Structure 1
Amino acid sequence: MTTGSAGSTVSIKEVAAQAGVSPGTVSNVLNRPHKVASETRSRVEQVIRELGFVRHGSASTLRAGHSRTIGLSVIDIGNPFFTDVAAGVEDMASELGYAVILGNSSGDRVKEERNLRVFAEQRVRGLLITPSDEDPRRLDVIRDRGISVVLVDHPAHRPDQCSVAVNDITGGRMAASHLLDTGAATIGYVTGPLTIRQCLDRRSGAEQAVAAAGLDPARALKVVEMPAMNAKAGQRAAEKLIAGGRLPDAIFCANDLLALGLLRGMLQAGLRVPDDVALIGYDDIDFAAASAVSLSSIRQPTYKLGRIATELLLDECDNPESHAHQQIMFQPELVARESTRRA
């Protein structure tokens, strides 16, 4: 029940009478909209808007033990990769009648744990998370509280856990193989902290490609580990490589932000990409194609990751008896552009 603009109270029964449906149908529109036919749902939603009905969220949360929200915890919302994932999450959640609370861990476990406590206090229905490390214990605590958890951009290593990820070992192998195909004999791998699973897997893939080409990874692959995965860190990596003397023939960056910063650093130093050094990134964010030298990259289905992860999460929440846990692994795609096209 709620108070209308003129001070009168509007109940679910009044909405139902006006829309010509049962109170149960109105409740489904509010709580399980996917179970209501689109024409009926539209009619009920129109009446809700006309009457100014607003349900009492705190009361319904107390009755159900949870809210109509899900939590989303990512490593770096400043990275367009996670922005695109979040868009997929929000769109699917909205279609299913949920709102999203966002937490940005910045790859910091302490901050991540603080965000998880807030999610629990807000009684989120479920949690989507790209974890900051491989320790599963804090997620077990969340699950023990009755909050479903789905891993995003991170594979699950247990059968009772849903996950949606992209094969980063394959992606790393694709990137390095492409650079080797352009004639590179030495490759620099510029990465964020190797404690991040994605960075480690992409390096493993690059090592596999180098070994398959008959080269010694210890000599042909130079790893440059940076404390962050943004454009500023990429530019610092370029300065570091240039100061170190002879550049590798090509550089593989663990994400596009690093690659774009590195590209800027190379161009400012008077080097030509790809003539002096070929360059490939990872994620294929929108800025990759629009950079001064269009950037080759490894594309991931970011928006789709968010949508499918949300669909899995809410199916687990709404259908715990029939839900089947899935570990979905997408395959990445090579997108070759100017930064690796040598004459």
Structure 2
Amino acid sequence: MAASMREVAALAGVSMGTISNVLNKPDMVSAPTRERVEAAIAQLGFVRNDAARQLRAGQSRMLAVVVLDARNPFFLDVAAGAESVADRSDLLTVIVGSGESEERENRQLRLLMEQRVQGILLSPVGENIPMLDKLDRQGTPVVLLDRGSRAPGRSSVAVDDVHGGRLAARHLMDLGHRTLVYVGGPESIRQVRDRRSGALDAVAESASTRMSTLWAPSLSIEAGAKAAAQILDATDRPTAVVCANDLLALGVLQECVQRGVRVPEELAIVGYDDIDYAAGAAVPLTSIAQPRAELGRAAAELLLQQVAAPVDHEFQQLTFSPSLVVRGSTDHGWRGSTL
């Protein structure tokens, strides 16, 4: 049977109030008394009932990170950045994947609201997020992650995806490509649309260049491989592909390797996110890099600032710039470079 706080207090020879201070406000307790209590806790194997404490406080010690795909290495790196900030405040970081489904996202947000999490970092699927108003009324801070906020009363951390799309298309055009295809994920995701918009802006600068669009059902390797099959089977095959993320690009590359299509000689490929797998692919992948861990850290810091000052909080919308990382999937003479 688990030891109780009363048993710890008896063994340490202190009051229950002192035990509570050691657990929650250790700076209020003298070092000798704190050491005596900690020794009693260790001897008895006491573990505090955090659920009961949260019930009394009306708030948990959890920070939730809700992302489009919890399996995507990009979001894992972003979450790791957030976790490094949460750790300093003794918060538990929980990563939740919406699976690119608005219905699932709303259900998860409702469950997190019921758990009274300290705050939520949210990379939303669509533009309409019904649960946000309810979370605001409850007093649960939400910071948009990898998505800029269009409301002044909402903090956000994002990357300039329109610029990233331009970088990808211009790189291919500078290499002489004039027939491009954009492989995107669900059109409901703003980042996917913004990256396409940027690529279209670049293509519009050249009268001799055209770009078609192929919408994929998800931002996954499997979806990328299926998209590649359509591209490679087309009678008017393009010479270059811009992908909405690296997983799609890796799927395109995988299909090319299986069919014996040479990359980049027969088909050049640019991904987006610059996940670690990009550099280690069969043909190292050119990609648009985002500061993944920095995104997570910045978002978590904004969230904890709002937790600390919910009334007088100054909302911020931070935007980072992406960069082009050139590798072998676009440059057969590649030796490694970043622009």
Using structure 1 for the length normalisation, give the TM-score: 0.86
Deviation at 1:339, TM superposition (A): 0.9
- Determine whether 1:229 maps to 2:226: no
Q: Residue 133 of structure 1 is aligned with which of 120, 123, 126?
A: 126
How far did 1:242 drift?
1.3
**Pairwise mapping of residues 200-219 of structure 1 onto structure 2 (< 5 A)?**
200-212=193-205, 214-215=206-207
Aligned equivalent of 1:83:
76
Residue in structure 1 matched with residue 264 of structure 2 by the alignment: 274
Structure 1: where are the runs of 5+ without partners? 30-34
Q: TM-score, normalised by structure 2?
A: 0.87
User: Contact 2:100/2:218 (CA < 8 Å) preserved in 1?
Assistant: no
1:315 and 1:47 map into 2 onto residues whose CA distance is 35
SS where residue 147 of structure 1 aligns?
A: coil
TM-superposed deviation, 1:253? 0.7
CA distance in 2, matches of 1:129, 1:297: 24
Distance apart, 1:192 and its partner CA? 0.6
1: CA distance, partners of 2:67 / 2:10? 37
Do structure 1's residue 289 and structure 2's residue 286 form an aligned pair? Answer: no
Q: 1:44 to 1:320 in 2, by over 3 A?
A: farther
Give the alignment partner of residue 314 of structure 1, picking from 290, 295, 304.
304
Structure 2 distance, partners of 1:44, 1:324, is 43
Q: Structure 1: which amino acid aligns with 2:47?
A: V
* SS of residue matched to 1:275: coil
Alignment equivalent of 1:165, drawn from 153, 158, 181: 158
| Paired letter, 1:191 | G
Match of 1:262 among 252, 262, 277: 252
Q: Tell me if structure 2 keeps the 8 A contact 1:76–1:105.
A: yes
Structure 1 distance, partners of 2:180, 2:81, is 34
Judged with a 3 Å threshold, the aligned counterparts in structure 2 of structure 1 residues 154 and 26 are, in CA distance, closer, same or farther, namely same
8 A Cα contact 1:251 1:280, kept in partner: yes
Task: Check conservation: 2:19, 2:37, Cα contact below 8 A.
Answer: no
Any conservation in 1 of the 2:110–2:131 contact (CA below 8 Å)?
no
Q: SS of the residue aligned with 1:101? A: strand
Counterpart for residue 122 of structure 1? 115
Q: Percent identity?
A: 41
Query: Secondary structure of 2:85's partner?
Result: helix
CA distance in 2 between counterparts of 1:236 and 1:126 reads: 38
Supply the distance in 2 between the matched residues of 1:139 and 1:266 (Cα, whole angstroms): 42
| SS in structure 2 of the partner of residue 252 of structure 1 | strand
Q: Give the 3 Å change call, closer, same or farther, for CA 11–293 of structure 1 in structure 2.
A: farther
Q: CA deviation at 1:187?
A: 0.9
Shift of 1:25: 6.9
Report the 3-state secondary structure (helix = DSSP H, G, I; strand = E; otherwise coil) of the residue aligned with 2:60.
coil
- State how far apart, in whole Å, the 1-side matches of 2:296 and 2:257 are: 35
Q: When the two structures are aligned, how many residues end up with a matched partner?
A: 326
Change in CA separation of 1:43 and 1:313 when aligned onto 2, cut-off 3 Å = farther
- Conservation of the 8 A alpha-carbon contact between 1:13 and 1:23: no
Structure 1 residue 231 displacement after superposition: 0.9
Letter in 2 for 1:301: P
Q: Secondary structure of the equivalent of 1:3?
A: coil
Question: Once structures 1 and 2 are overlaid, which stretch shifts more, 219-228 or 54-63?
Answer: 54-63
CA distance in 1, matches of 2:159, 2:79: 16
- The AA in structure 1 aligned to 2:83 is E
Counterpart amino acid of residue 224 in structure 1:
L
> Structure 1's 321 and 341: CA in aligned 2 closer, same or farther, altered over 3 A?
same
Q: Secondary structure at the match of 1:276?
A: coil
Corresponding position of 2:337: none
Give me the whole-angstrom Cα distance separating, in 1, the residues matched to 2:36 and 2:283: 52
5+ residue gaps, structure 2: 334-339
Change in CA separation of 1:150 and 1:28 when aligned onto 2, cut-off 3 Å:
farther
Q: Does 1:146 align with 2:139?
A: yes
**Which one of the candidate residues 180, 185, 208 is aligned to 1:187?**
180
Give the conservation status (yes or no) of the 8 Å contact 1:266–1:272. yes
Over 3 Å counting, the alpha-carbon distance change for 1:62 and 1:251 in structure 2 is same
- Amino acid corresponding to residue 300 of structure 1 in structure 2: Q
Indicate how the Cα distance of structure 1 residues 336 and 11 shifts in structure 2: closer, same or farther if over 3 A, else same: farther
Query: How far apart, in 2, do the equivalents of 1:92 and 1:48 lie?
Result: 31
- Paired residue type of 1:298: I
Partner SS state of residue 302, structure 2: helix
Residue matched to 1:32? none
Distance 2:182 2:36 in 1: 55
Residue identity in the other structure for 1:125: Q
1:60–1:157 distance in 2 versus 1, CA, 3 Å = same
CA distance 1:170–1:48, change in 2 (3 Å): farther
Farther-moved stretch of structure 1 (296-305 vs 88-97): 88-97
